[in-house]
Structure 1
Amino acid sequence: MDTAPRITATSWLMIATLGIVWGGTFMVTEIALLALPPFWVATARIGLAALVMLIIWTLRGRPLFHTPPNRAEIGALITVSALSGTFPFALLAWGQQHVTSGYAGVSMASIALILLPLAHFLVPGERLTLRRLAGFLIGFAGVAVLIGGQAFGHTGSTFETAGRIACLGAATCYALSSILMRRLPPVDPIGLATVLTLIGLCMALPMALIAEGPPPAIDSAYMLGVIAFLGIVPTAAANFLRVLVVRSAGPVFMSLVNYQVPVWSVLLGALLLNEPLPPSLLQAMALILAGLAISQYGALRRLFVRG
């Protein structure tokens, strides 16, 4: 897309929703890993999401590109699919076996910092300014305060270093896919979200079979519900919202959701699992909100002026 990003009230609502949904995904993934090995967790997520999205897309007549794509655009579509689903899902599921959930949360927040220089050169209307950089750094400081020392605590796993690299690799995949997604030609958002999951499934399935063999049987209705939730809510529905945000408001704005994810992860853990709330929560939330406000001051000002 050659037009500058357009940030609206709906854009803010969508990233707030994504923050809540993805904030609870780490907790659900930990549960799913009790029933399936990591690559099969990723494949189950993508497979169920692909089925749901395919049904919806078919009922709408299967629209996709507004004009027939060329080879380069098809190649970009395949690359976006691998970087937005297959690889990061597998890397995170594997990495979470060997690192703390705090570290996984910090690695997702780093997406914004990875995106800043990339978007400056590759996405129209996403120039890197001192105000925007200051806002992102303040937000990242808030994430660090929230997680505290737990983020970098040792788990005792032999593969802890590899697990940390895997989480950072997943963050890099998300950053690159957002840039490439924004640069695709005019496309139907539901069609794009569906095709991304279908291509992702074609990659994830053989990867899981080669790495882990046939999947183990799941005879627990509870575990089946956990896998279904992972496929439908944080994968199918959230993938559609992510496409909408990136295509309309831009990848840098989309990256703001990753500052919210650790906050919601902590809050949901306290509400649903009776985990203790860290005393630094309010400080962290203040820094994160300040960072969001500073980095997106122009969009917020236009929003409230119109309101």
Structure 2
Amino acid sequence: MTRPLVWTLYAACVLVWSSTWVVIAVGLEDIAPFFGAGIRFSIAGAGLLIAAAALRRPLRTDFVLSAIVGLLPFATTYGLIYWAEQYVTSGLTSVLFGVLPLYVALLAAATLPSERLRPRLIAGVGIALGGLIVAFSESLDLGSGEHTALAALAVILSPLASAIGNVAIKKRGGKLDPLVMNGWAMLGGGLVLLAVSAPTEDWGATIWSAASIGSILYLAVFGTGFTFVTLTVLLRELPAVTVSFISMIIPFGALALGALVRDEEVTALAVGGALLVVAGIAVAQLPIRRRVPA
């Protein structure tokens, strides 16, 4: 795959995921969190498997990897995020999720020989995290609700499940059909979320409004089906930590969308924080040029 195409797909993931935090919040107004997440992933998984069958692709895959991805990134990460967004803002959620590259760096160093844990990598992640905090310091209000602190902790822990899934895909998914592997994983993760929802949430209280239905469909098709298949492709082409930096760029994508679509203000702190994030990614990722002795 050519580099321009790889970075185009990278940018597409950033753009779509930048919008999903707000769309999740919209859906939570009418749909219980685990129920909404379960429907989202079940629809996305079934859709990918139907597409694969229509394209006459074999539906066999690495079912161990599909189970890992279904239980961890899909069921655990998104179950925690959907639950947490009832108590903390979507903006705070997207910023706290920015710890993902740190988790990926530690796990990749322990399991992937090609991705060593370098001091520059840790320093770069630290700088980028600092940039996120600076950029959104004016709006990182934890709130005073009964479960806000627990919800914030859930968001901070949720990327660990995603990190395990990403590293597992990097390690085992190189030759798998991304449609089929993700299809089974999404379907399995969705069914797990629905199983958690059934005894704990009132499905009859769901309001099937245009906003809630549109939220589920958008998240299923674009925020899940497109992005996670693309993520699997990107993990074949780029280091796992490089791919994980998407989570740090997403809040700025959301900020830019807000400015373009809703005329929201972009502050000097936001610009300064964005520059720090760019600097941190550069420190972590750009190779050092060593002088060759004359």
By the TM > 0.5 criterion, same fold?
yes
Mapped partners of 2:5, 2:109: distance in 1: 24
Match of 1:159 among 147, 153, 164: 147
Aligned-pair distance for 1:132?
2.3
Q: Look up the match of 1:109.
A: 98
Match of 2:66 among 77, 85, 108: 77
Q: What CA RMSD, in Å, does the superposition of the two structures yield over aligned residues? A: 2.2
Deviations 1:15-67 (A, max 9, x none): 2221111111111111101110111121121122123212211112233567x
Is 1:267 matched with 2:256?
A: yes
Mapped partners of 1:170, 1:29: distance in 2: 16
Amino acid at match of 2:77: P
Q: Look up the match of 2:171.
A: 183
Q: Which runs of no fewer than 5 residues in structure 2 stay unpaired?
A: 290-294
Mapped partners of 1:94, 1:213: distance in 2: 15
Give the secondary-structure state (helix, strand or coil) at the position aligned to 2:220: helix
* Contact 2:21 2:91 survives alignment (8 Å): no
Give the secondary-structure state (helix, strand or coil) at the position aligned to 2:139: helix
Is 1:31 matched with 2:39?
A: no
Q: Look up the match of 2:57.
A: 62
* Contact 2:52 2:59 survives alignment (8 Å): no
Q: Look up the match of 1:304.
A: none
Deviations 1:178-212 (A, max 9, x none): 11122215311221121111211221221111221
Mapped partners of 2:95, 2:2: distance in 1: 25
Deviations 1:223-243 (A, max 9, x none): 312221111111111111111
Aligned-pair distance for 1:217?
4.4
Amino acid at match of 2:161: C
Mapped partners of 2:169, 2:217: distance in 1: 26
Q: Look up the match of 1:243.
A: 232
* Contact 1:115 1:176 survives alignment (8 Å): yes
Match of 2:12 among 7, 17, 25: 17
Mapped partners of 1:127, 1:93: distance in 2: 33
Mapped partners of 1:64, 1:184: distance in 2: 17
Aligned length: 288
Q: Look up the match of 2:37.
A: 42
* Contact 1:110 1:140 survives alignment (8 Å): yes
**Aligned pairs (5 A) from 1:153-302:** 153-184=141-172, 186-298=175-287
CA separation of 1:17/1:265 partners in 2, compared to 1, >3 Å: closer, same or farther?
Answer: same
Mapped partners of 1:222, 1:105: distance in 2: 21
Q: Which moved more, 1:9-18 or 1:249-258?
A: 9-18
Aligned-pair distance for 1:10?
3.0
* Contact 1:119 1:251 survives alignment (8 Å): yes
Mapped partners of 1:65, 1:250: distance in 2: 26
Mapped partners of 2:74, 2:273: distance in 1: 29
* Contact 1:91 1:166 survives alignment (8 Å): yes
Mapped partners of 1:267, 1:239: distance in 2: 22
Amino acid at match of 2:148: E
Mapped partners of 1:293, 1:198: distance in 2: 37
> What TM-score do the two structures reach when normalised by structure 2?
0.90
Mapped partners of 2:264, 2:166: distance in 1: 33
Q: Look up the match of 2:292.
A: none
CA separation of 1:140/1:11 partners in 2, compared to 1, >3 Å: closer, same or farther?
Answer: farther
Give the secondary-structure state (helix, strand or coil) at the position aligned to 1:266: helix
Aligned-pair distance for 1:255?
0.6
Match of 2:82 among 83, 93, 98: 93
> What TM-score do the two structures reach when normalised by structure 1?
0.86
* Contact 2:48 2:182 survives alignment (8 Å): yes
Q: Look up the match of 1:128.
A: 117
Deviations 1:277-305 (A, max 9, x none): 22212212211222222322139x9xxxx
Q: Look up the match of 1:3.
A: none
